[in-house]
Each structure stands twice: as structure tokens, then as C-alpha cells.
Structure 1
Amino acid sequence: MSNAPADLKYTATHEWLKADTDGTYLMGITDHAQELLGDIVFVELPEEGREVAAGEEIAVIESVKAASDIYAPVAGTIVAVNETLTDSPDTINDDAFSAGWILRLQPSNAADVDALMSADDYMQSLAD
């Protein structure tokens, strides 16, 4: 059964955002998404400094089953990427909500994050 930590915001395309103390947000894919993908074997990380639009494809995750695009939850600038995933992409399978983060995003408008789904809303969307 998938879980969704209450302190995160979620998208319908199964990405999450977690607020950090410096106004940036860690971003990754949900537990549900990594379960659907199965064993992750490759992550194509975006470039640091890249400005992205909400909904824009920003990364690709490949598993033994399929490849999946990852989308920007909100507009902003990618300020860091998780280089650990280059050598250990399966970190996402092991810890999707912490060590398996994909990138750090500085939103163009922090209020856009508030418009994303709560954990309860996300879990309800999975049940629908």
C-alpha cells in the first residue's frame, strides 16, 4: 500500500514537493509511482540552473518495466540535483520520500506550491 507523508505537496502526475528552510523545495516521485515503475535502473537528471514551467518535462526515470517522464510541479529554477541517483538510481525504490529526492527547486511563486494536492487529496485521487 502506498503512503503519502502529510508534510508534502503532491501532483496528479505523482511528484512531491517538500519545503526546506531556505525557501527551496526538494522534489521526487511518490511511493505509488516507484511501485508502479518497479526496479529503477536509470535516472536522467536535469541541469542545475535550468528554469522550468509548471508541467514541463524535467527528468526521465527508467525501470525494468518502462520509462516515465517527470514533470515540474510548479514553475521555478532547478538549484540542485541528487547526483547519488546517477550511480544508485534504485535509491528511489528504497526511500522515495527522503534519500531518493530528484532535485531541489526554487519556485517562481511560492504560492503555487499551496495549490498542489495535500496528502489526503493525493491518496483520494489514487482511490478514485
Structure 2
Amino acid sequence: MAKVSLWTRIKNFFSGKKQPAFTDIHVKDGIWYAKQADGNYLLGIDESVYQLMGKITFADFPTQLDKIQVEDDLLDIEGDKSVETLKSPIAGIVIAKNQDIGKDIETLNKPDPKANWIVKVQPTS
């Protein structure tokens, strides 16, 4: 997930869209992860996944997610061009999961952090 350009910020200001309150945004292997003000991380699908896979047609959590380690399976997705399993870039305790993933695929196909987030994680040391 790239930083938001000045032009995009200006357009969002005038259209009333608010930027997510993220700091310290990173991308690894198709997953963006952003530190939130409370110290937890929000993980989501990066735009590079859409470029690689095309339109996402199916998404599901591969296992029960309570605790995750780096490189654990995070999300199984199928697209027009391929099938992938996205891996976790961080370790921690899963404190929230996007229950809408897999229910409304059209929402997931929008590269929007409010729609394409996967899990919220409390990092472990």
C-alpha cells in the first residue's frame, strides 16, 4: 500500500473522505500492514495482489486464526488469473477478523483499506 499522494489527500479533503489513521505502513508479499494509534496492526490486501490476480472471485480464511506467526497462512484467495494463499508478515494475537470477507466479493475487489482489511493483530514481542 503506497503512501497517499498530496493530490489524493486534496481530493479526499474536498470530497469528505477521511484517511485511515495509520502510521508505519509496510507491504510484504501482497499484504499491507499498518500500525494503528493503539499499537495494534491492521493487515489487508495490497493493490499488487489485484494486479497479479485480476478480479478476486473467492476468499476464505484457511484456518481458525487466534495466534499467528510470520509466514502463517492468512487468507486463501482465487482470482481470474491465479490462486494464492497470502501469508502473515507479522506475529501476534488476532483480536479482530473481517467477517465480511467471502460474503461480498465485490466489496473485497475495491482496493480500499476499509473493505479489504483481513485481520487486526496485537503484536507479540
- TM-score under structure 2 length normalisation: 0.72
The alignment partner of 2:117 has SS state of coil
Q: Where does 1:2-81 land on structure 2 (aligned, <5 Å)? A: 4-5=2-3, 7=23, 8-11=25-28, 13-45=29-61, 46-48=63-65, 50-81=66-97
Identity %: 26
Q: Is the 8 A contact 1:28 1:96 kept in 2?
A: no
Provide structure 1 residue ranges, at least 5 long, that are not aligned to the other structure: 110-128
The offset of 1:96, in angstroms, is 4.1
Is 1:107 aligned to residue 123 of structure 2?
A: yes
Q: Distance in 2 between matches of 1:92 and 1:31?
A: 11
Looking at both structures, which has the greater relative contact order when contacts are Cα pairs under 8 Å and sequence separation is at least 6? 1
Provide structure 2 residue ranges, at least 5 long, that are not aligned to the other structure: 5-22
- Greater than 6 Å deviation, 4+ residue runs: none
- Find the counterpart in structure 2 of residue 97 from structure 1: 113
Q: Which has the higher strand share?
A: 2
Cα deviation, 1:24-63, whole Å, max 9, x if unaligned, reads 1110121111221111111112534x11111122221111
- TM-score under structure 1 length normalisation: 0.71
